[in-house]
Structure 1
Amino acid sequence: MNISVVIPTYNRAKILGKSIESVLIQTLPVDEIIVVDDFSTDQTQKVVESFKSEKVKYVVNSFKKGANGARNTGIMLAKGQYIAFQDSDDRWLPLKIAKQYQFMVENPNVDMCFCSMNLKGSKRGIVPKRKVTSEEIKTQLEKGNFISTQTIFIKKNVAKNILFDECLKRFQDWDFVLRVAKKYNIHHLNEVLVEVVVQNDSISKNINECEALETFFQKYPDLTKKHMVNKSLYNKILFHHYSMKEQTLRSFMSLSKYFLYKYFDKVLYRSVKL
């Protein structure tokens, strides 16, 4: 097998079908689609089985693992030489797999490539907004993430070596690509090949940002000392802590630093923002 697709899902029966369909209509057919159900309580199984395709495989986790655990289950079960990740609420454009696969075959030294995406209904719009050179990817990732899981096309052996951190409830894609960038070669295919619609029940909506950032920066403490954008986020965490403890002066100072670092980051690096 050449290409495996991993789709983690939890109670997304109403929209999962469109996601699977966008994989099945790719101009370059994939070899298998592994839908990993993290103990859904809706009609997810019926939706998956309605496709009547041998390529679509339905797997239920042995226990509730969260999205990261579901992706890891899919990685370990994948038989393809390459793995692409899809989310149950997003849509691939028909040429996504063909273009990424062709690039990887023609450039065997590249271990992972990602495409641009359109965040529909979001002020961010296209992410990333410009071409990101392979030489700058690692440094740019230290400032923030611009590689979402559904844009990734990666060699299976690399995905198995990295895996997703199941302790992280948010920013798991940022963590994953940071670790890939440290050891492997990444390339940006500067084309919009994925459409993303942020759902009201998405992880980013339901997990407290400050708590998630604190957990993330505990894993990457050096990032809080690099780049103004991370210094800004770190002071946002401090503001949250001091506010909870009713330490007014400290919370005010942290909030001031948060906005100050955020302002200078926006002004000084406006022209190279992703």
Structure 2
Amino acid sequence: MSVVIATRDRIALLRRAVAAALDQDYPGTIEVVVVFDRSEPEDLGIEERPGRRLRTTRNVNTPGLAGARNSGIALTTGEYVAFCDDDDEWLPGKIPAQIELISRHPDAVAAGCGVEVRSDGHSVTRLSPYPVVTFQHLLRDRVMELHPSTLIVRRDVLVDRVGPVDEHLPGSYAEDYDLLLRIAKIGTIPCVPAALTAINWGSSFFADRYVMITEALSYLLDKHPEFDGEPAGKARIEGQIAFFHAAAGQHAQARRWAVRTLRRNWRERRGYLALGMGMRVIDAKRTIRFLNARGRGV
């Protein structure tokens, strides 16, 4: 089992994530590859032990999360590759439960699990609404429970068939969603019905980078034309684009995207949020904090 953790300037949080990965009650070997993005590797003060290996390296690809993950994947040797964000942590039993689940699903190429979302002193448990996630599910719904910190993937599938994390996505935003879509085109993704990963919201590098987010989401829609066959799913992303244009103060663009959203799906609430923000009756940061406290994102 190989674990890739990309990091940037969060050494204390990183040590917690690495320790949680190495402490998994898994009888096989676990190797953790820590990739320092836009900084030189540091000594984490964590010792290796039998069956547990730790390697640190620097991002040799495009600066950003996607390039860092690709740098780490290239150094992995395990049958499975897992990811964990440097501010998140695995809970005991995650890896054995996921590997056991994959063994019971012949079509599975990856596995996820539930999450415990922590934000502003609140904690919310979220389990996947689908026992087995398919490509069609992911077009319709991001399935946030399939957070990158929950995911393990067969290494041969990831390297030989899915290909690298997309380094062309603006700011590496939604690189995990793009990767999930490509994985799900090849096979299914069963999810353990238990919260085995703690997701800590509040320290994201994407906070306030609203224009970049709109560019990344537009790129994602262009890359995956299959969204045209799933109107509710496409309207969801268009509504997010409208919301973040409004958050950036680009109200004319927000209105255009909101109208497009609601024409495609009048039930899509993000379109109404964007219009409300344009009229100054809804505040973006307050809305995001409200959603995060309930274990949800925009």
Please tell me the TM-score bracket, short chain as reference: 0.7 to 0.9
Distance in structure 2 (CA, Å) of the matches to 1:6 and 1:45: 16
Overall identity of the aligned pairs, in %: 25
- Counterpart residue number, 1:73: 71
Per-residue Cα deviation, 1:81-137 (whole angstroms, up to 9, x for no partner): 11111111101011001111223345454211111112112889334453x143x62
SS at the partner of 2:168?
coil
Aligned pair in 2 of structure 1 residues 205, 108: CA closer, same or farther (>3 Å)? farther
SS at the partner of 1:113?
strand
Which residue, 47, 55, 59 being the options, matches 1:52?
A: 47
5+ unaligned residues in a row in structure 1: which ranges?
266-274
Give the aligned CA root-mean-square deviation in angstroms: 3.4
- What is the CA distance between 1:73 and its match in structure 2? 1.6
In the alignment, residue 37 of structure 1 is paired with which amino acid? F
Distance in structure 1 (CA, Å) of the matches to 2:39 and 2:201: 19
Aligned pair in 2 of structure 1 residues 27, 68: CA closer, same or farther (>3 Å)? same
SS at the partner of 1:40?
coil
State whether residues 233 and 258 of structure 1, in contact with CA within 8 Å, keep that contact through their aligned partners in structure 2.
no
- Counterpart residue number, 2:147: 148
Distance in structure 1 (CA, Å) of the matches to 2:155 and 2:59: 20
Per-residue Cα deviation, 1:28-82 (whole angstroms, up to 9, x for no partner): 15431111111226xx6132xx112261101112355311111112212111111
Alignment of 1:1-274 (within 5 A): 3-28=1-26, 30-40=29-39, 45-47=42-44, 50-53=45-48, 55-107=53-105, 109-121=107-119, 125-130=124-129, 132-134=130-132, 137-146=134-143, 147-160=146-159, 161-162=161-162, 163-168=164-169, 169-203=172-206, 206=209, 208=211, 209-224=213-228, 226-234=230-238, 237=241, 240=245, 244=250, 246=252, 253-254=259-260, 257=263, 260-263=266-269
- Counterpart residue number, 1:270: none
Aligned pair in 2 of structure 1 residues 156, 247: CA closer, same or farther (>3 Å)? closer
Give the alignment's TM-score, normalised by structure 2: 0.74
Distance in structure 1 (CA, Å) of the matches to 2:47 and 2:131: 41
Distance in structure 2 (CA, Å) of the matches to 1:227 and 1:70: 33
Aligned pair in 2 of structure 1 residues 108, 74: CA closer, same or farther (>3 Å)? farther
SS at the partner of 1:183?
coil
Give the alignment's TM-score, normalised by structure 1: 0.80
SS at the partner of 2:268?
helix
SS at the partner of 1:79?
coil
Distance in structure 1 (CA, Å) of the matches to 2:26 and 2:221: 39
Distance in structure 2 (CA, Å) of the matches to 1:145 and 1:254: 20
- What is the CA distance between 1:167 and its match in structure 2? 1.1
- What is the CA distance between 1:213 and its match in structure 2? 1.3
Aligned pair in 2 of structure 1 residues 124, 179: CA closer, same or farther (>3 Å)? farther
**What is the number of residues matched between the two proteins?**
258
- Counterpart residue number, 2:277: none
Distance in structure 2 (CA, Å) of the matches to 1:217 and 1:232: 11
